[in-house]
């Protein structure tokens, strides 16, 4: 029945510092709190330093941690992200593109918009008809005005950020304002209790560091959960083939070049290229399958993309990162919970990794077991939630590949092979031939991707239902038309009222945002 008084987080990347911040901020506001939080990071192993795209959840996370949006934007070279734009994923043609915006379609829960779209407006891209956000992105608009308070939105948004600066920003806040104890040392071993729980960590310089709960944020090496406990790794390479990335930082042509309001993801012969606009530079990288292409060929495609999109001709060699796509069989074992890359990683196609960190840290905060006896129950629930979430991330990412009409390489052909498609996704695709994705397909309280996201990708990729949807009402098209008009009116209003991303970032740098 021993109490949980000391939490030891190992790892000082985004996962470690976000978890420390989320736990410490809550602990400080709790009456009679006795919880101590220490974060241990190695001086020899740096954080991965990539991961520039986030989800709108980050606004709540940062606000709960107690940092201001102004400081965050200034110190992390952050900009606003309103979704993703996918280019050449379907046909490879120059004009082949679709949006996955962050706002739900107008009137989404009220009527069957898909029926109305197909009946009367089938020539308009689905996202352009049901949402104002793709139009804001197309014009490089910010998701709020200079007078909109911190973290508040006119249009739902997340951020693009510099991962290295983000870690340092969180570290400073956690140490100076939240009382997190910071130990810079390398963990060289693990001491266990008789029951197998971790008692303490052996360090190079600071002796043994004891704790009641250990959070493994050690990145891909998964020091505690993977290496010490040997929790098996559930590889997903047979579903999502990408396992290598080449990353670069690309300068803008000039200081006032527009900052893109969305992540631009352009499909290549054997993978895809991300393009993320920060205030001072772009982050560009090629993610690809090493089984389908060589590093040289991938680098050549990356360099030619950079040149085509206005970058310099003579870029240095990119940084290469390799990963094994997949996740652990479980994430919480005995008194050890893995958060971040130590729990798993799948290609960054929808930037879900940091979002899973936020969800993990929030569940740990909200469900913090008071005693060791309660811990196994919480651990079971945690494992159930996150196994479900990883499975849904995989389904959703795979959806981006299975509807392609590209046949220019084995990569795209292999992606469409039935045996590479998870059963549940296959089943849903069958159902969606007759009815649109809905809340009946995704009914958990905190789904990682709502049914609206599936609609955006499905119809963006050219998927069309067969015949009239089964749930159709006779007045669906009329009702939907009302919402399409609403979306169009909002588009005009917002285009006129919102500054550009670049202008708003400039304003924040000079004057800051008003407090809530």
Ligand X SMILES: Cc1cc2nc3c(=O)[nH]c(=O)nc-3n(C[C@H](O)[C@H](O)[C@H](O)COP(=O)(O)OP(=O)(O)OC[C@H]3O[C@@H](n4cnc5c(N)ncnc54)[C@H](O)[C@@H]3O)c2cc1C
Binding site for ligand X (CB under 6 A): 10-16, 40-42, 45, 47-48, 50-54, 163, 186-187, 217-219, 221, 223, 245, 247, 285, 321, 323, 340-342, 348, 351, 353-354
Q: Which two tokens stand for residue 46?
A: 């740096």
* CA 248/CA 275 separation, integer angstroms: 10
Q: Which two tokens stand for residue 18?
A: 């976000």
Cα radius of gyration (the chain): 23
Contact predicate 452/109, CB 8 Å:
no
Which residue's CB is nearer to ligand X, number 318 or number 422?
Answer: 318
Which residue's CB is nearer to ligand X, number 12 or number 211?
Answer: 12
Hey, which residues does 321 pair with through a beta bridge?
Answer: 245
Please state the closest distance from residue 301 (CB atom) to ligand X, in A. Answer: 16
* CA 413/CA 404 separation, integer angstroms: 9
Which residue's CB is nearer to ligand X, number 112 or number 299?
Answer: 299
Which residue's CB is nearer to ligand X, number 38 or number 500?
Answer: 38
Which residue's CB is nearer to ligand X, number 129 or number 163?
Answer: 163
Geometric angle at alpha carbon 241, from 237 and 242, rounded to 5°: 115
Contact predicate 170/180, CB 8 Å:
no
Alpha carbon of residue 395 to chain centroid? 15
* CA 16/CA 307 separation, integer angstroms: 36
Contact predicate 343/41, CB 8 Å:
no
Please state the closest distance from residue 9 (CB atom) to ligand X, in A. Answer: 10
Alpha carbon of residue 322 to chain centroid? 18
* CA 19/CA 102 separation, integer angstroms: 24
Contact predicate 320/246, CB 8 Å:
yes
Please state the closest distance from residue 331 (CB atom) to ligand X, in A. Answer: 12
Which residue's CB is nearer to ligand X, number 50 or number 429?
Answer: 50
Q: Residues in the chain, how many?
A: 516
Which residue's CB is nearer to ligand X, number 45 or number 416?
Answer: 45
* CA 264/CA 178 separation, integer angstroms: 36
Which residue's CB is nearer to ligand X, number 73 or number 187?
Answer: 187
Note the helical H segments in 108-247: 113-120, 126-130, 133-138, 163-177
Which residue's CB is nearer to ligand X, number 219 or number 460?
Answer: 219
**End-to-end CA, the chain:** 42
Instruction: Identify which of 487, 430, 483, 473 has the alpha carbon closest to the alpha carbon of residue 115.
Output: 473
Please state the closest distance from residue 191 (CB atom) to ligand X, in A. Answer: 15
Which residue's CB is nearer to ligand X, number 56 or number 219?
Answer: 219
Measuring CA to CA, how many Å separate 21 from each of 31, 107, 356? 18, 36, 15
Which residue's CB is nearer to ligand X, number 25 or number 39?
Answer: 39
Please state the closest distance from residue 436 (CB atom) to ligand X, in A. Answer: 28
Please state the closest distance from residue 373 (CB atom) to ligand X, in A. Answer: 29
Which residue's CB is nearer to ligand X, number 16 or number 311?
Answer: 16
Long-range contacts for 286-291 (Cβ within 8 Å, ≥24 apart)? 286/245, 286/246, 286/318, 287/242, 287/244, 287/245, 287/347, 287/348, 287/349, 288/242, 288/244, 288/245, 288/411, 289/241, 289/242, 289/243, 289/244, 289/411, 290/243, 290/244, 290/322, 291/241, 291/243
Please state the closest distance from residue 13 (CB atom) to ligand X, in A. Answer: 2
Contact predicate 78/160, CB 8 Å:
yes
Q: Which residue is nearest to ligand X (CB)?
A: 13
Which residue's CB is nearer to ligand X, number 91 or number 387?
Answer: 387
Please state the closest distance from residue 438 (CB atom) to ligand X, in A. Answer: 27
Please state the closest distance from residue 294 (CB atom) to ligand X, in A. Answer: 18
Measuring CA to CA, how many Å separate 398 from each of 57, 63, 393, 414? 22, 32, 8, 12
Please state the closest distance from residue 384 (CB atom) to ligand X, in A. Answer: 22
């Amino acid at each position: 029945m021993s109490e949980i008084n000391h939490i030891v987080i190992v790892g000082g990347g985004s996962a470690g510092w976000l978890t420390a911040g989320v736990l410490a901020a809550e602990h400080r506001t709790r009456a009679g709190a006795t919880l101590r939080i220490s974060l241990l990071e190695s001086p020899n192993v740096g954080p991965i330093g990539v991961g520039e795209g986030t989800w709108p959840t980050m606004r709540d996370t940062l606000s709960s941690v107690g940092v201001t949006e102004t400081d965050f934007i200034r110190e992390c070279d952050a900009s606003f992200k309103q979704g993703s734009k996918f280019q050449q994923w379907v046909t490879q043609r120059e004009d082949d593109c679709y949006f996955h915006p962050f706002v739900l379609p107008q009137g989404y829960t009220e009527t069957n918009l898909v029926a109305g779209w197909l009946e009367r407006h089938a020539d308009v891209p689905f996202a352009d008809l049901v949402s104002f956000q793709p139009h804001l992105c197309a014009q490089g608009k910010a998701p709020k005005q200079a007078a909109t308070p911190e973290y508040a939105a006119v249009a739902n948004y997340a951020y693009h950020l510099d991962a290295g600066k983000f870690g340092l920003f969180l570290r400073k806040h956690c140490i100076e304002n939240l009382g997190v104890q910071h130990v810079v040392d390398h963990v060289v071993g693990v001491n266990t209790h008789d029951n197998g729980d971790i008692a303490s960590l052996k360090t190079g310089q600071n002796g043994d560091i004891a704790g009641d709960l250990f959070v493994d944020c050690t990145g891909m090496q998964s020091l505690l959960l993977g290496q010490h406990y040997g929790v098996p790794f559930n590889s997903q390479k047979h579903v999502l083939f990408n396992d290598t990335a080449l990353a670069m930082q690309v300068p803008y042509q000039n200081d006032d070049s527009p900052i893109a309001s969305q992540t631009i993801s352009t499909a290549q012969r054997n993978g895809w290229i991300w393009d993320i606009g920060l205030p001072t530079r772009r982050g560009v990288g090629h993610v690809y399958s090493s089984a389908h292409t060589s590093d040289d060929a991938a680098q050549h495609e990356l360099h030619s993309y950079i040149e085509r999109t206005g970058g310099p001709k003579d870029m240095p060699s990119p940084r290469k990162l390799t990963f094994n796509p997949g996740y652990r069989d479980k994430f919480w074992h005995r008194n050890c919970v893995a958060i971040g890359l130590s729990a798993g990683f799948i290609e960054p196609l929808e930037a879900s990794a940091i979002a899973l960190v936020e969800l993990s840290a929030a569940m740990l905060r909200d469900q913090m077991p008071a005693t060791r006896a309660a811990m196994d129950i919480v651990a079971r629930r945690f494992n159930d939630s996150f196994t479900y979430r990883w499975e849904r991330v995989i389904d959703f990412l795979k959806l981006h590949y299975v509807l392609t009409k590209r046949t220019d390489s084995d990569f795209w052909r292999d992606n469409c092979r039935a045996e590479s498609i998870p059963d549940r996704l296959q089943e849903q695709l069958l159902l969606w031939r007759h009815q649109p994705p809905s809340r009946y397909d995704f009914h958990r309280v905190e789904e990682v991707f709502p049914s609206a996201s599936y609609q955006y990708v499905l119809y963006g990729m050219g998927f069309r239902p067969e015949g009239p949807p089964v749930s159709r009402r006779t007045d669906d098209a009329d009702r939907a038309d009302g919402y399409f008009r609403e979306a169009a009116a909002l588009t005009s209003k917002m285009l006129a009222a919102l500054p550009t991303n670049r202008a708003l970032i400039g304003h924040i740098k000079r004057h800051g945002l008003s407090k809530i």
